[in-house]
Amino acid sequence: MNRTEMHWLRRPKTIRKLWHWGLGLLAATALLDLVVHGHAYFGVDGTFGFYSWYGLLTCVAMVVIAKVLGIFLKQGDDYYDN
């Protein structure tokens, strides 16, 4: 498929733009902690950027855990047919 036929959402230029806008949005939401002060129930959840880093790190951790478990649990998808 040549470039003129390519859906606009698939063009590398659009994808680059999406990354820039996305990262900008992430920074903006994280920085909202400077102005928004909510009620903290456990102490650490009231610190700057808690929800941002907690969301990021727990998700990375879950992918890593899944990856490690996958070593033991993954089998070909015809495993039970044989």
Partner 1 sequence: MIIDALPPGIILILGALLIPATSGIVRTIVVTGLPLIVAWLVWQVPDGAAITAPFLDYQLTIVRGEAVGRVFATVFALMSFAGGVFALRQATVLEITAAYVYAGSAIGVAMAGDLITVFVFWEIMAVGSTLVIWAAGTEASYRASMRYAAMHLFGGVVLMVGVIGYVQTTGSVDFVLMTPHDFATWMILIGFLINAGAPPFSAWLPDAYPEASPSGAVFLSAFTTKTAVYVLIQGFAGTEFLIYVGLYMACYGIIYALLENDMRRILAYSIINQVGFMICGIGIGTEMALNGATAHAFTHIVYKALLLMSAGSVLYMTNKRKCTDLGGLFQSMPLTCICGIIGAMAISSFPLTSGFISKSMISQAAADQHLTFAWFMLMAASAGVFLHAGIKFPWFVFFQKDSGLRPPDPPGNMRFSLILFAFLCIALGVYPDPLYAILPYAVDYVPYTVDHVVKMLQLLLFSGLAFFIMLPSMKRTLTISLDIDWFYRKLGTTIAIRLVNNCSQVRDAVENLARGRLNALLAVVSRHHGPESLMARSHTASSMVMWVAVLLAVYLLIYFI
C-alpha–C-alpha distance, residues 22 and 27, integer Å:
9
Could you tell me if 52 and 29 are in contact, meaning their C-beta atoms sit under 8 angstroms apart? yes
- Asked if 34 is part of the footprint of partner 1 (rule: CB under 8 A), the reply reads no
- Asked if 55 is part of the footprint of partner 1 (rule: CB under 8 A), the reply reads yes
- Rg from Cα positions in the chain: 21
Could you tell me if 20 and 28 are in contact, meaning their C-beta atoms sit under 8 angstroms apart? no
- Asked if 14 is part of the footprint of partner 1 (rule: CB under 8 A), the reply reads no
- Asked if 12 is part of the footprint of partner 1 (rule: CB under 8 A), the reply reads no
Q: Which residues bind partner 1 (CB under 8 A)?
A: 1, 7, 9-10, 22, 25-26, 29-30, 32-33, 36-39, 41-42, 49, 51-60, 62-63, 65-67, 69-70, 72-77, 79-80
